[in-house]
Amino acid sequence: LGSTPHISIVSYQSGGIHMVCESAGWYPEPQAQWRDLSGQHLPFLTEKITQHDNGLFEALISIIVTESSSQDLSCSVRNSHLNPGKESVVYIADPFFLRGYPFKVAMYILLVVVGLLTFTASYFLWKQYKAKGKLVADLEELRDKLGKLEAELKWRKTQLFGEVKVTLDPETAHPRLKLLEDQKTVTLESEHQDRPDNPERFDKVFCVLGSEGYTSGKMYWEVEGMGGIWAIGVARESVRRKGEIKFTPEEGIWGIEQSRDCYATPESSLLLCETPKKIRIYVNYEKGEVAFFNPDNGDLIACLTASFKGETIFPFFCVHSHLTLTI
């Protein structure tokens, strides 16, 4: 991406020649600089980086060239995705620095050069306009690649933090949920279990919380036994236990739901390349982030921004069909 820098002479200023270098069609944000032919950086007069409505950046950098300074110089533009970038070189001849009558001759030459440069610029702008569709397509491709890189980075981060050993809290389990002896497996039964109706217990939705809560740190755990209808994630300690509740951040729940191989968050449906056999739930408490991955291939399923408000959070599980979830 990015056009070849276009160098033009603007005016005489401060005893020298005011020159401008322009280049458009960059993403992400580029850097521009003037150099002499030995590669030394030259101080610029002004620099302006502009982002247009199509998301692409335009760079403009100016310089004052005097008769005593280097008359051979180059303008280069680059970003982190294009190395070494693109460069244009210009030589300022001595007649451009003449005074008096010769100065008029130089101005005449200058006008001719400016005319040629204007024609060249118009030609490149026309080519750029024709290539706009390709630039937009390239930008979308770049955004897609960046999205995949961000997802891979999140996945690699989960591998840096320790797995927590989650067990289920029978005091919070709905009466129709059966917990196995190891407190790591839950199934939905047809009949109510004999359990007291304590304040911590869910009485309408078939949910259960983890036994241990968290108020800080980075952690993950995995759930297997996909299929059927379920929801998993995290919940604030203050989540309502009585009556019908929705699996939304407003209720203090951040999670994903699955129904007949269709996945969703409260905001949108999720399209997965393959149905995971396990799901890894990653939580960064301080950053307020809850992410869900397929641990078999590292694919990011969903990433939710959370507001825990300093409360203790617990692993959250809901089962709405006769299936088994195992931690």
Is 148 domain-assigned? no
What is the share, in percent, of the chain residues with pLDDT greater than 70? 80
20-24, 54-58, 249-253, 275-279: the lowest-pLDDT one = 275-279
Which of 81 and 321 is assigned the larger pLDDT? 321
Q: Is the pLDDT of residue 146 over 60?
A: yes
Q: Which string of DSSP letters, residue by residue, matches 284-312?
A: ETTTTEEEEEETTTTEEEEEEE---TT--
Those residues with Cβ within 8 angstroms of residue 124's Cβ, 6 or more apart along the chain or in another chain: 3, 4, 6
- The pLDDT assigned to 6 comes to 94
Same domain, 199 and 110: no
Is 21 domain-assigned? yes
Same domain, 120 and 188: no
Quote the pTM value: 0.53
Backbone CA torsion sign across 170, 173, 179, 185: negative
Q: Is the pLDDT of residue 262 over 90?
A: no
For residue 293, what are the domain limits? Answer: 177-326
Instruction: Report CA-CA distances (Å) from 88 to 27, 117, 321.
Output: 19, 13, 67
Same domain, 182 and 320: yes
Last residue of a domain, one of 130, 146, 161: 130
Last residue of a domain, one of 101, 130, 159: 130
Those residues with Cβ within 8 angstroms of residue 2's Cβ, 6 or more apart along the chain or in another chain: 23, 24, 25, 26, 30, 77, 79, 82, 85, 86
Kindly state the tokens that stand for 278: 């396990």
Tens of pLDDT along 151-175? 566 556 655 567 889 999 999 999 9
- The pLDDT assigned to 103 comes to 52
Tens of pLDDT along 206-254? 999 999 999 999 899 999 876 678 899 999 999 999 999 988 999 999 9
Rg of the Cα atoms in the chain: 32
Q: Is the pLDDT of residue 82 over 80?
A: no
Average pLDDT of the chain is: 83
Is 1 domain-assigned? no
- Beta strand 16-26 pairing with 57-65: antiparallel
Tens of pLDDT along 89-112? 988 876 666 554 455 556 657 777
Is 243 domain-assigned? yes
In whole angstroms, give the CA distance from residue 81 to residue 100: 48
Give the domain CATH number at 110.
Answer: 2.60.40.10
- The pLDDT assigned to 258 comes to 84
Verify cis geometry, omega within 30 degrees of 0, for the bond prior to 295.
no
Same domain, 238 and 322: yes
State phi, psi for 17 to the nearest 5 degrees: -105, 125
Same domain, 58 and 193: no
Same domain, 70 and 185: no
- The pLDDT assigned to 271 comes to 63
In whole angstroms, give the CA distance from residue 49 to residue 275: 44
Same domain, 78 and 182: no
Question: What mean pLDDT do residues 309-315 have?
Answer: 94
Q: Using alpha carbons, select from 11, 62, 55, 52 the residue that is nearest to residue 32.
A: 62
Kindly state the tokens that stand for 40: 């030394």
- The pLDDT assigned to 116 comes to 79
Total domains in the fold of the chain: 2
Same domain, 214 and 295: yes
Same domain, 66 and 195: no
Angle between helices 100-130 and 132-158 (to 10 degrees): 70
- The pLDDT assigned to 101 comes to 42
In whole angstroms, give the CA distance from residue 247 to residue 25: 44
Same domain, 126 and 249: no
Is 161 domain-assigned? no
Same domain, 81 and 184: no
- The pLDDT assigned to 169 comes to 96
CA angle 255, 182, 320 (to 5 degrees): 40
Give the domain CATH number at 316.
Answer: 2.60.120.920
Q: Using alpha carbons, select from 199, 181, 178 the residue that is nearest to residue 242.
A: 199
73-82, 178-187, 257-266: the lowest-pLDDT one = 257-266
User: Beta strands of 237-298 (E only): which ranges?
Assistant: 253-259, 262-264, 269-270, 278-284, 289-294
Is 141 domain-assigned? no
Is 166 domain-assigned? no
Is 309 domain-assigned? yes
State the CB neighbour count (10 A cutoff) for residue 258: 22
- The pLDDT assigned to 100 comes to 45
Straight-line distance from the first to the last Cα atom of the chain, in angstroms, rounded to the nearest whole number: 47
- The pLDDT assigned to 170 comes to 95
Same domain, 311 and 195: yes
Residues making up the chain, counted from first to last: 327
Residue 12 confidence class, pLDDT cut points 50, 70, 90: confident
Tens of pLDDT along 280-296? 999 999 999 999 988 88
Last residue of a domain, one of 130, 150, 165: 130
- The pLDDT assigned to 156 comes to 62
